[in-house]
Structure 1
Amino acid sequence: MKKTFTEPQGYTDVEYVAIPMTPVESHQVAAVGYDAATQTLAVTFTRGAGAIYHYPNVQPQVHAAFMAAESKGKYFGEHIKQLPFLKFRAPVAA
């Protein structure tokens, strides 16, 4: 059976607010950040154009479990991937 894929989501027009990111050891996830004040999880991936994905309304315990997971990619796929997100272009290096 042939796999079908949905069209990738475009970049958002919402103003980007940087969230400090921590590099992680993973084949899929490059770095993770979390803003406790807004409960926003930020994720970048090892593949692609370096987009930054913001997942709003993520509880602190979800972030903590993600960071503690032995496999960040597996945890992401099982607990975060299906959540709504905003996609931002990678920041341009100065």
Structure 2
Amino acid sequence: MPKTFAEPQAFSDAEYVAIPMTPVESNQVAAVGYDAARKTLAVTFTRGTGAIYHYPNCDAKLHADFMAAESKGKFFGAHVKQLPFVKFRAPATTAA
């Protein structure tokens, strides 16, 4: 029987606040960022449209543990994936 997937979540109309991202070594996760003032974890993935996912109400320890994890993909699946998130379109890049 083929796998069934939920419909993708729509992009948010909320104001996007950029969070500096650090590229990571992972087959699944492309980059991770954290805004301590807003307690928001940001994640982008290696596949897909380049969307940026913001996970609010995350503490700094979760971010530190994520960055220290040997497998970013496994850590994401075990500790982040189930958290509520807001999905933003990838910011447009400007050509130089």
Per the normalisation by structure 2, the TM-score is: 0.95
Map 1:12-23 onto structure 2 (within 5 A): 12-23=12-23
Alignment partners' CA distance in 1, 2:80 and 2:46: 16
Deviation at 1:2, TM superposition (A): 3.1
Tell me the number of residue pairs that the alignment of Structure 1 and Structure 2 aligns: 94
Map 1:52-91 onto structure 2 (within 5 A): 52-91=52-91
SS at 2:22 equivalent: strand
Alignment partners' CA distance in 2, 1:33 and 1:12: 19
Per the normalisation by structure 1, the TM-score is: 0.97
Structure 1, gaps ≥5 residues long:
none
Which residue matches 2:31? 31
SS at 2:31 equivalent: strand
SS at 1:27 equivalent: coil
Moved over 6 A (4+): none
Structure 2, gaps ≥5 residues long:
none
Identity %: 76
Taking only aligned residues, the RMSD between alpha carbons, in angstroms, comes to 0.7
What are the Cα deviations for residues 14-71 of structure 1, in whole angstroms up to 9, with x where unaligned?
0000000000000000000000011100000000010000000001111100000000
1:5 aligns with 2:14: no
